[in-house]
Structure 1
Amino acid sequence: MSAVTTDRPATTRGLPAPVLVGGAFVLSTVANVAFQVGDILFTDKDPHRPEGPISSITSISVVGVVALVIALAVALPLVKSPARAKVGAIVLGALSLVTVPLFWSGAPAIFGAAAAWLGGLTRGAQPQSGAARAFGIIGFVIAILGVVAVFAGALSAILG
């Protein structure tokens, strides 16, 4: 009798994990900071106003960098073991859902991209199944929506 194996070949399509997670950080947190800097440089509004660009730059930077550090601190040790990566995908996917109210910081996009990485949705990753795969997909969708929200918010601020 032969043993049943659950190993799946590594994913050959999609983005590499550093591009996905780094891209989520750049397209959400860094882009939002750049939009705030643009507000300072290209408008006559007071940059020190309540909830203005200077306070926004501070809060976006702090929350975004903390989210990136947490996501990498969780993902990097867990990615080597498929069983541990499943747990990490679920945890990071849940964090992406919980942090949705902080979309302006990029935190949901960062956590979502890391969940997609551990869920096996990136190039070279071990595909997961079950809840880990579901949270990876949810995280990927949240990462995309987080980036869209940052750019849509900036566009609405420019036009409105």
Structure 2
Amino acid sequence: MAVTTDSRTSRGVTGPVLVGGAFLLSTGVNLLFKVGELLFTDGDPHRPQGPIDSIVSISVVGVAGLALALAIALPLRADPGRARIGAVVLGALAVVTAPFFWSGAPAAFGAAAAWTAGLSKGEKPLTGVARGFGIVGFVVAVLILIAVFVGALAGVFTGG
């Protein structure tokens, strides 16, 4: 009698929730803070790097990052060999785009790397380098979320 085991992740959230949540908690929340700045402060909204410029840049870069992350993750995650490549590429993109943390794009890349590496609920985790990049992507996503919230709250309390 042969016994097979399938070590799928049973805790956590599903991949789409992970990626969508990272996007909403980074890009979405940052946009809400900028809209709040626009509505509830008397600063010039048209100043350079003011709320209007910020809303446009956050929206464009954040949505482009999410679209690219999904364009890479969705076709590659079904095949473990290709998923390994996707996890490495997405994890690397999460690290490389970290300076653009304000957009939320690195969080989307990082969450997609974790999903592609099988680190979300119901997925079979990959091993080796792909798993490492998935973990790095997840860590980058969490750090980006922290940076967005701290930056937004600092802006609220310091008036800028």
Fold match (TM-score > 0.5): yes
TM-score (norm 2): 0.94
Task: Report the number of matched residues.
Answer: 156
What is the rounded CA distance, in whole Å, between the counterparts of 1:23 and 1:139 in structure 2? 14
Contact 1:89 1:132 in 2 (8 A): yes
* Structure 2 CA distance for aligned equivalents of residues 78 and 58 of structure 1: 31
Q: Does the 8 Å contact 1:100/1:108 carry over to 2?
A: yes
Root-mean-square deviation (CA, aligned residues, Å) is 1.4
Match of 1:17 among 6, 15, 22: 15
Q: Structure 1 stretches (4+) deviating beyond 4 angstroms?
A: none
Q: Deviations over 1:121-152 (max 9, x none)?
A: 10011211111000000000100011111110
Q: Residue 117 of structure 1 corresponds to which residue in structure 2? A: 115
- Residues 11, 122 of structure 1: 8 Å contact kept: yes
Residue aligning to 1:69: 67
The CA deviation string for residues 68-123 of structure 1, in whole angstroms up to 9 with x for no partner, is 10000100001111111111000000000000000000011000000000111100
Alignment of 1:57-96 (within 5 A): 57-96=55-94
Report the Cα offset of residue 9 of structure 1: 2.5
- Separation in 1, partners of 2:84, 2:156: 41
> Any idea what the Cα deviations from partners look like across 1:23-58, whole Å, max 9, x if unmatched?
000000011111000001110011101100000000
Contact in 2 for aligned 1:86/1:128 (Cα 8 Å): yes
> For residue 49 of structure 2, what is the aligned residue in structure 1?
51
Mean alpha-carbon deviation: is it higher for 9-18 or for 129-138?
9-18
Unaligned runs of 5+ residues in structure 1 are none
Match of 2:27 among 26, 29, 41: 29
Corresponding residue of 1:156 = 154
Identity of aligned residues (%): 62
Structure 2, gaps ≥5 residues long = none
TM-score normalised to structure 1 length: 0.94
Deviation at 1:8, TM superposition (A): 4.6
1:134-149 matched pairs, under 5 angstroms: 134-149=132-147
- For residues 40 and 155 of structure 1, what CA distance do their matches in structure 2 show? 15
